[in-house]
Each structure stands twice: as structure tokens, then as C-alpha cells.
Amino acid sequence: MQANNIKWIKYSFGSIILIVLIISIFNYKIDSLSLFGNSNYLSKVAKILVNGQMVAGLKNYDDRLLQKLIIKNLKIKSDIIVIGSSRTMQMRQSFFRKKINFFNHSVSGASLEDYIAIVGAYEYIHKYLPSTIILGVDPWIFNKYNSQNRWQTLSKYYNYEIKKIKNKEEIKSFTVNISKWKQLLNYEYTIANIKFFTYLNKNNGKIFYITDDIDIDDSIKDCDGSIYYPYKQRYMKVDNTKKYSENNVYSLERFYKLNNIKLFKIFINYLTYNGVRVILFLPPYNPASYDIMVSKAKYKNLVKVEKYLIDFAKKNQVKLIGSYNPHKYNLKINDFFDEMHAHDYVLREILKKEYIDR
């Protein structure tokens, strides 16, 4: 009887090891987010964009890794770059009158670390800073509990830049990104890879395609880095915001006080000291969401962040455009396709009104 129990334990243990091994190998090989460098489709996408073509059909990819690859492949010096969250992804080169070298490096749920890392990628790879940097400043960058840690894809450039900003000598060190390797057994990443594998089989291995037409019902990455949403979002004119705003608001929960003030200040001062024209852009919220948020005590720091940024811009002679408050521009619910993302014409009109030197 005891021998059978030992045999069963060995069999069970061996089965668990085998399952873990299979899942790890599957996630390593499929690698839908290209965490382990086994999926080279993003390198192809970066080269296509830099060469002036648009890409459609991209889904569930690491947009920070794509930004790194784009910066690596840039052939001409960028005059103006945009760094922000999905709320600034629709800012386009066509919004600017002047013929300029422009690129939008916005990433999903951008944090202050993303700003620093993307600027760091420019300095590390190309040894220069763009002449103008537009920062889409979302209120959550000052929230210690914003749960934004995706910037770690760019940690190499963040660490490089933070030492320059703080005027510290760079210390060479070897670090292992443990969080990356944890993804080999991560449930969500396994599901994402299964979906990615299924999608590949369904589409005969086609992950994306080149297009010269924005009038297609698909997600499009323009050659200036901006995006066009599928028709469902692009042309949505429906109020679906009230329920959202009455529950949790994206990255603004547990926002007890303003954090990251010191780092934000020295980052902006570093840029201006080095001759960069910094423009702070505050993307507006849907009025239905905004009105509910400002009526709740737990979101009181939404207004405080804007006040801080206005004061900061005045004291440091930095241009600030936009506002979290949609009523400043007489914006309506139909000017947004959800609780926090405006249609692209809203961004264009704000630039037209407030960014005179376009």
C-alpha cells in the first residue's frame, strides 16, 4: 500500500513538472508580447512605420517594446514627439501646420516612468533630445497606487535617463527582470498566448497588414505613430459613461495625495535646461464622467492635479494646453467614445486654439 502511495506521488509530481514545462515552453515560443525576443513581427512593424507606411490589424502587443524598436529604426531627427497614454494616441502630424518630423510615442496607461524611459531611449540610442516634447499628462501619474508597471519593458532606458536627470554617474549593473520570467507561468499571459495562437491559425499566420487607407474597420497605426480606432470606437456617439464613473475610475483609486512631484519637476527642468521646449497637454474627460468624479471626495485630487500643473507651468515658464475639465471647451458627451477618450477632432481643436506655434 505504501509503495503504491509513493508511486502515485512520483507520478503526480512528474505530471505537474511536465505540465509546467509544457506551459513554459508554449509561452516562451508563442511570446505574443515579444517579452523574450522570440516574436520578431514588431521589428517588422517598426521598420514599416519608419519607412512611411501604415499598419493595420495589430492586437495585444507590447506597445512599449514597439516604441523602443521605432526609436532604434528612426533615420531622421525628430522635431516634435508626443508621449502620453491612449488619451493622446490620436494626436497626429496633420494637426500641425508646419512641415516637421513628428512622432507620437504614446503608450497605454502611460506613467511618469514611461516619459523618462522614452526620452532615455532617444538619448541612449541617438544621443540627442527632440527639440519639442508634448507630454500628455494624465492625473494618475501623480497617484502612487496607479498600478502602472508596464514601463518596465523600457527599464534599461529609464535607469539610464534617471541617472542623467539626477546628475549621477552611471553605474554598470547586471539585473534580471524577474517579472518577465514569471510570465512563463502567468495565467493571463497563457490565455493571451492561446488567443494569439488561435488568431494566427485563423488568419493563416498574418498578424498585421500594410494599408494606405484609413477608411477601414480595423485598428490602424499611422506612420506618425498615431492610431485610428476600429469603427466601433471611431464613430461611437453613445453615452456609456455613467455606470463606469459610479464605480472605479481608471488608475485613480486610492489617490490619497499627489506623489511623484519631485521627480516630475526635476525631469521637466532637465529637459528645459537642455533646450527642449516642453508642452504639457491635459486631455479632457467625458463631461458625464468628469461631473461625477468632481462630486466625489475620493477623486478630489483630479482637480488638485490640474491646479498644481497650472501653477507649475507658470512658475517654470512651460506651456500648458488642455484641461481635464471638458466644460472649458464646451465639450459634450458625443465628443467622446467612452468615459475618458475624446474623438481625434477634440485634440485637433484644442491644439488649434491653444498651441499657436504649430
Which CATH number is 92's domain given?
A: 3.40.50.1110
pLDDT value, residue 232: 84
Residue 30 resides in a domain: no
Residue 55 resides in a domain: yes
pLDDT value, residue 280: 98
Residue 9 resides in a domain: no
Residue 6 resides in a domain: no
289 and 142 Cβ atoms separated by less than 8 Å: no
Residue 200 resides in a domain: no
**Helix, strand, coil percentages, rounded to 5, for the chain:** 50, 10, 40
pLDDT value, residue 235: 79
Q: Which domain holds residue 121?
A: 37-173+206-354
3-state class (DSSP) for residue 279:
strand
Cell 494626436 -> residue: 91
Residue 224 resides in a domain: yes
Q: How many CA atoms lie within 13 A of 306 on its CB side?
A: 18
CA-wise closest residue to 231 among 241, 218, 249? 218
Give the DSSP letter of residue 90: T
225 and 106 Cβ atoms separated by less than 8 Å: yes
Render 223-278 in DSSP notation, one character per residue: TTS-EE--HHHHT------HHHHHSPPTT-TT--S---HHHHHHHHHHHHHTT-EE
Residue 70 resides in a domain: yes
Residue 21 resides in a domain: no
pLDDT value, residue 242: 55
Blockwise average pLDDT, block size 10, the chain, 358 residues: 66 75 74 66 94 93 93 94 98 88 96 97 97 97 90 92 80 53 71 71 76 95 96 70 64 86 97 97 96 91 97 97 97 92 95 71
Rounded CA separation 12/273 (Å): 63
Rounded CA separation 225/304 (Å): 31
123, 225, 227, 37 alpha-carbon torsion, rounded to 10°: -70
Number of domains in the chain: 1
pTM of the model: 0.84
